[in-house]
Amino acid sequence: NAGVTQTPKFQVLKTGQSMTLQCAQDMNHEYMSWYRQDPGMGLRLIHYSVGAGITDQGEVPNGYNVSRSTTEDFPLRLLSAAPSQTSVYFCASRSGQVTGDEQFFGPGTRLTVL
Amino acid sequence: GENVEQHPSTLSVQEGDSAVIKCTYSDSASNYFPWYKQELGKRPQLIIDIRSNVGEKKDQRIAVTLNKTAKHFSLHITETQPEDSAVYFCAAISNTNAGKSTFGDGTTLTVKP
């Protein structure tokens, strides 16, 4: 099992550019989430999905879109990058919506917006 | 929504001493409380968790306690070692909140040899 994988590991964008952060898991997990982590702060939820075809907003969704066409993949799109989106992005998955399932994190994508 | 506060933000202890990190939560419906360890440049990893029907859980040098009435839970690390140095995050999850995780802001623990 590769677990949760993310690409790219690092990315530099210019203001206004768009890009997609990729996330995939091979554990057949229904529940997937995207977080951003800023210095001195915890992980803040951007978007989440409870299963293929179902997505919803988290705490900080503005400027980001997601889709979930398959159980395995959960890409995060930055529509028009802004310096405020400079952060480390983590994708995570867990078995289901029931609390108590362990959440597994990907290795992260470090994004810099100039 | 849920709000989780974590204290202290930084903690420095001597090797062999104990370390305690505390978190409070606001949503009485929260029923699952994991703790994560994140080393520099790495992903968060689960180290211990506790469910709301349990008051304490221990795993070797690590323990977690939960006080549902006061809505706070704590991480206890005994006999600290330099490799315990990392950032520790608490989180609270509720079934009534679509299972979303709310994280504390983290505690940077430094264990001095």
Q: For residue B48, give both structure tokens.
A: 């211990």
Residue A39 at interface with chain B, using a CB cutoff of 8 Å: no
Helix, strand, coil in percent for chain A, rounding step 5: 5, 50, 45
For the stretch B26-85, pLDDT in tens is 999 999 999 999 999 999 999 999 998 889 999 999 999 999 999 999 999 999 999 999
Neighbours of A20 (CB within 10 A): 13
Cβ <8 Å between B32 and A107: no
Cβ <8 Å between B106 and A42: yes
Residue B31 at interface with chain A, using a CB cutoff of 8 Å: yes
pLDDT at B10: 97
Tokens 């078995």 correspond to what residue? A95
Q: Please give the torsion angle defined by the CA atoms of residues B39, A41, A91 and A83, in that order, rounded to the nearest 10 degrees.
A: -120
Residue A40 at interface with chain B, using a CB cutoff of 8 Å: yes
pLDDT at B39: 96
> Which chain B residue lies closest to A39 (C-alpha atoms)?
B105
pLDDT in tens, chain A (114 residues): 789 999 999 999 999 999 999 999 999 999 999 999 998 788 999 999 999 999 999 999 999 999 999 999 999 999 999 999 999 999 999 987 676 788 999 999 999 999
Neighbours of A38 (CB within 10 A): 14
